[in-house]
Structure 1
Amino acid sequence: MTSPLRRRLGVASAPLVLCLASCSVLDTTPPVPDDWTPRGSVPMVVAFAPGGGSDRSARVIAQGLNELEAGFDVNVENKEGGSGAVGWATFLAEQGNGNTLLVAETALNTLPLVYDVPFTYRDFTPLVMFAEDSRVVVAPADSEFTDCHDVIEASENERVVVGSSGRTGADSLVVAELTEEGGSFDTVPYGSSGEVMTGLLGGQVDFAPTSAASVKPYLESGDLVPLCSMTAERYDDPVLGEVPTAREQGIDAQVTVWRGVFAAGGIADVQRDYWIAEIERAMESDTYRDYLADDLLIPADRSGDEFAAYLETYDERMREVYQ
């Protein structure tokens, strides 16, 4: 038999349980003030090793932001591994944190199409797309290949090894395009474009796509030879302007790579708007302009919703390539 005291506790416990259940889902996070600004150290995550294109772009943007002297200090943090998966999965845990940034590129679209990872680009907040890039396909100086058509043709009868910075980044897009045109290659993945260059110079791979800026000195010195570029038109440059496009060689292939800055997912509008304004200010610096010129990049300025719309269209194209 239930005692009066137990009965009273039992009756009283029902609303208590309901209260606990409802109270547990209440958001106790304090609202972000309208005059929010970042303070102290602001980590800027790069999901690739130091020395590559993503690392360089992050350091340029970080320097431009720090030159604003706005009360914060942006520090680049390299979290390489898994073709970008380690760094982006790490950044996923920053949900709602407006005091951290991410510099990313095309692989953020393509990695989730190839591997089972816990994120897509939609899990982060697009801020500013600041540059576009492409690739030049090159080979060691003593290579039997003279153009990109040669590597496709050779792969039909012999083993051809290509170097690639990551399995799903800009380099992998070039390999995918050449494969679509009939090539069949064995791919050696490297952690950064700098490592790809080392592989080329050491004769570890037969050819590789790489950035225009990183390969230009080696073309000038004769250590590497160009096969084709993946641009829509030839580079406006005395050295790279001599390199024919893939389309000039009868190969219907073009690769465009975006580079941009993201914030964590779930941040407040005031935080997103603050970072967009500050990054756009940083892009007015001589450091940023020199970076575009030195790295032979195409300037871009897509912010907020415009950047998000670009990513959606780009993602649709990548699904056609990878699936």
Structure 2
Amino acid sequence: MKLNKKLISSMLSVALIGALALSGCASQSSSSEPAASSSSTSSSSSSESTDYPKSAMEFIAPSGAGGGWDLTIRTVAKVLQDTSLVNVPMPVTNNSGGGGGVNLAYMQTQEGSDKLISVYSPPILLINLNGSSEYSYKETTPIARLITDYGAFVVPKDSPYKSIADVMDALKKDPKSVKIGGGSSAGSMDHIQFLIVAKAAGVTDLKEIDYISFQDGTATAQILGGHVDLLTTGLGDVQSLIESGDLIALAQTASDRVGEGALAEIPTCKEQGIDVTFENWRGLFGAPGMPDYAVDFWRDTLKKMTETDEWNAERTKHGWADAYMDKEDFESFLAEKNEEYKGILAEIGLLAE
């Protein structure tokens, strides 16, 4: 009987030890399950972040074909495709009118879109300040500044004006004596860059200068046809016509000579005794309320693009200076320029009330 008691006691001990072991295994299994779940969630989140973009983007030039905005965004799309940084289609559409105002209004209808990207430059500020548009950069999502182009003042090859000083001398005598053409609206970039140079050259009665706006993409045809005496435009916009000799560039607005070949032969305003520069910066903007995941993707991707040999080759070809600026710095820059342009427009009487 005593033996049986010992046997029973031994068996109970074994059973107790077994139960404790099983309890430990269950506890260990339970504690490992949340870790597996956490890993799965992390993997899912990572997968979602790499899915963008899933389909074609909507790249927009807020002007006609062939201008500086058009050239810039088409070049961006080409380089992104050539370098395989983006593998979805990036067709470029032209949404012209109002010096960029028509497209700004369209962007308001696309609030929250992760597909729309448009290029802009100083007019995104100027058309609001001069009253042409109720919208400005504040009604978009700034992504990055990419390059700086410069203003150029060109005349037909048979023009009587051989230097920018000749033009300014004529305007000092009679502000109506030279008809100035440009692709932007009055009070916007092409107009303003010429007035800034004229003011620095000592021309008074700036309001009296005849400026004719050609927003339908015919500005170069107008100067070639002799309908205006001088065209104020972007250097890259008339590069091919300068290289062919059909147009003569009297001056450009950089602090130093830029580009290669014929572009590098164009004298600056400063070289000709007019102590002023004007930068035609260009950057990319998303629709208002663009989702953070899309903004982050494009910030990262555009930064990588600006570091490629392909992009730098395009910049050199078009005479563009590297002016990359990420979102936060770009937004600060825009706020500063907005105040600067406001002062310029007020000085020449074109600031909206």
Does TM, normalized by the shorter one, top 0.5?
yes
Count of aligned positions: 290
C-alpha deviations, 1:222-279, integer Å up to 9, x for none?
4322322211112353433333321222223211011111111223322211111122
Q: Residue 148 in 1 paired to residue 164 in 2?
A: yes
Equivalent in the alignment of 2:323: 300
Equivalent in the alignment of 1:42: 57
User: In 2, Cα distance between the equivalents of 1:225 and 1:70?
Assistant: 39
Q: Any gaps of 5 or more consecutive residues in structure 1?
A: 1-32
User: In 2, Cα distance between the equivalents of 1:223 and 1:177?
Assistant: 26
Check conservation: 2:125, 2:136, Cα contact below 8 A.
yes
In structure 2, do the counterparts of structure 1 residues 222 and 76 end up closer, same or farther at CA, with 3 Å as the change threshold? closer
Check conservation: 1:213, 1:294, Cα contact below 8 A.
no
Check conservation: 1:140, 1:201, Cα contact below 8 A.
yes
Check conservation: 1:46, 1:54, Cα contact below 8 A.
yes
Residue among 66, 69, 82 paired with 2:98: 82
Larger mean CA deviation between 48-57 and 215-224 belongs to 215-224
SS, match of residue 210 in structure 1 = strand
Equivalent in the alignment of 1:178: 197
Equivalent in the alignment of 1:117: 133
SS, match of residue 232 in structure 2 = strand
Task: Report the CA distance between 1:71 and its aligned residue.
Answer: 5.0
In structure 2, do the counterparts of structure 1 residues 250 and 59 end up closer, same or farther at CA, with 3 Å as the change threshold? same
User: In 2, Cα distance between the equivalents of 1:253 and 1:234?
Assistant: 14
SS, match of residue 294 in structure 1 = helix
Q: Which amino acid aligns with 1:65?
A: L
Equivalent in the alignment of 1:166: 184
Q: Runs (4+) of structure 1 moved beyond 6 Å?
A: none
Task: Report the CA distance between 1:320 and its aligned residue.
Answer: 1.4
Larger radius of gyration: 2
User: In 2, Cα distance between the equivalents of 1:274 and 1:178?
Assistant: 39
Q: Residue 275 in 1 paired to residue 298 in 2?
A: yes
TM-score (norm 1): 0.82
Equivalent in the alignment of 1:240: 263
Q: Percent identity?
A: 25
SS, match of residue 228 in structure 2 = coil
SS, match of residue 340 in structure 2 = helix
Q: Residue 253 in 1 paired to residue 273 in 2?
A: no
After superposition, residues 11-90 of structure 1 pair within 5 angstroms as 37-67=52-82, 68=84, 70=86, 72-90=88-106
Pick the structure with more helix per residue. 2
Task: Report the CA distance between 1:92 and its aligned residue.
Answer: 1.8
**CA RMSD of the aligned region, Å?**
2.2
Task: Report the CA distance between 1:293 and its aligned residue.
Answer: 1.4
Task: Report the CA distance between 1:103 and its aligned residue.
Answer: 1.3
TM-score (norm 2): 0.75
SS, match of residue 322 in structure 2 = strand
Check conservation: 2:299, 2:326, Cα contact below 8 A.
yes
Q: Residue 266 in 1 paired to residue 289 in 2?
A: yes
